[in-house]
Amino acid sequence: MKVHTFNEGDLASEMDLFYRVPYFERLYICLEGCKKEFLAGCRPIIGLDAYHLKTKSGGQLIIAVARDPNEEYFPLAYAIVETKTKDSWTWFINLLLADIAQNTRWTFISDQQKHRICCRHLYNNFRKNQPGVLIRALFWKAAKATYKAEFDRVMDELKEIDEDAHNWLQTHSTTIWAKHIFSEDWLIDTVISYDQVLGEQTNDTLFACWAGHTQFKVKNGLQSFTVDLAKAHCSCRKWDITGIPCAQIITCIFFNKQDAEQYLHKCFNVSTYKVCYELIIAPINRQNMWRPNGVQPV
């Protein structure tokens, strides 16, 4: 039996045609409060995963989580399915997209998918045959590089140290694990917090040269980058990707004697965080208070 309900009083069911008995197949839940708060304050990036349910009935729990303005996990939707298959994943994602609107660009991340993968899972597979502290450091440095030239330099360094490790990573398209490929729509950086960026990346080795209007050239050690404050752009792309001012941006802001926080993306504002948790998920009664609905018990 398949039961579909979206609003109170809107209930429908389908009986299995072969056995003519009701049975539980799947259950999808996306609470109204979670959906509205996700759309109001979270970044357009969604993590997916599934877990085995250790009960006599078996099945698997599928979940979708987001990131709130404080870079913490935000529950979005979940489902109980018979098993993790292409059909059950398609069913879950289609229902999720119906809830959060399909005319918006969303980025989905899972531990094993073709479009974007978790670097932690990738590294766990990588280190099985390529262990070592230096190789680990180079892997994460390459993964976190925000522009292609830096990524290429790190990969060349890795090739000189261990060509097999370099070749293994080359078999995995950079479009699924390297940050320099990230879209500027995501505004996500789970590696460094806002306070760490403002506290650790500003130092006396950076020099800003004003080019005119809101444009600068910034020297950072042996490297140089171009900055345009009006366009919220730095050629290192860190600001573009995360929405958090990078060291070069902060140097230019201080050059203008301005407040760095005013250049943060609005998704990092306290007001946005409050909106994200403004709604209340109302409690519900247990079975003793449920009204008869005419659906045969499973």
pLDDT in tens, 248-293: 999 999 999 998 888 888 888 888 889 888 888 888 888 888 887 7
* Whether 260 and 239 share a structural domain: yes
CA–CA dist 215, 208 (Å, integer): 10
Check residues 254 and 204 and name the one with the higher pLDDT.
254
Same domain, 87 and 12: yes
Residues 15 and 62 in one domain: yes
* pLDDT, tens digit (0-9, with 9 covering 90-100), for 74-87: 999 999 999 888 89
Q: Tell me what pLDDT residue 120 has.
A: 77
Question: Is the same domain home to 11 and 63?
Answer: yes
Categorize the per-residue pLDDT at 1 as very low, low, confident or very high, splitting at 50, 70 and 90.
very low
Same domain, 221 and 173: no
Helix (H, G, I), strand (E, B) or coil at 178: coil
Residue 296 lies in a domain: no
* Co-location of 170 and 209 in the same domain: no
Residue 15 predicted with pLDDT over 90: no
Task: Return the higher-pLDDT residue of 183 and 41.
Answer: 41
Please report the pLDDT score of residue 123 as a whole number: 84
Spatial separation of the C-alpha atoms in residues 213 and 38, rounded to whole Å:
37
Residue 11 banded pLDDT, cuts 50, 70, 90: very low
For residues 99 and 7, membership in a common domain is answered with yes
Whether residue 160 sits in one domain with residue 217: no
Mean local confidence (pLDDT), 18-47 = 83
pLDDT at res. 125: 83
Q: What is the pLDDT of residue 252?
A: 94
Domain count, the chain: 3
Greater model confidence, 271 or 15: 271
Assigned domain for 62 exists: yes
Last residue of one domain, picked from the residues 181, 205, 226: 181
Q: Based on the domain organization, do 80 and 147 belong to the same domain?
A: no
Q: Are residues 126 and 206 in the same domain?
A: no
Q: Supply the range of the domain harboring residue 165.
A: 119-181
Does one domain contain both 99 and 135? no
Tell me if 273 is assigned to some domain. no
Boundary (domain end) residue, out of 159, 181, 203: 181
pLDDT reported for residue 287: 82
pLDDT in the model for residue 192: 37
285 lies in some domain = no
Q: Which pLDDT score, from 0 to 100, does residue 118 have?
A: 66
pLDDT the model gives residue 222: 83
Question: In this predicted structure, what is the pLDDT of residue 65?
Answer: 94
pLDDT above 90: percentage of residues in the chain: 28
Does residue 221 sit within a domain?
yes
Q: Which of 41-55, 105-119, 173-187 has the highest mean pLDDT?
A: 41-55
Q: What is the pLDDT of residues 140-199, one digit of tens each?
A: 899 888 888 999 999 999 999 999 888 888 887 776 678 887 766 556 554 333 344 444
Shared-domain flag, residues 86 and 9:
yes
Give yes or no for residue 114 having a pLDDT over 50.
no
Output the average pLDDT for the chain. 80
pLDDT of residue 286: 87
Q: Is residue 187 part of a domain?
A: no
Is 298 a member of any domain? Answer: no
Domain C-terminal end among 181, 203, 218: 181
Q: Is residue 87 part of a domain?
A: yes
Residue 78: predicted pLDDT: 95
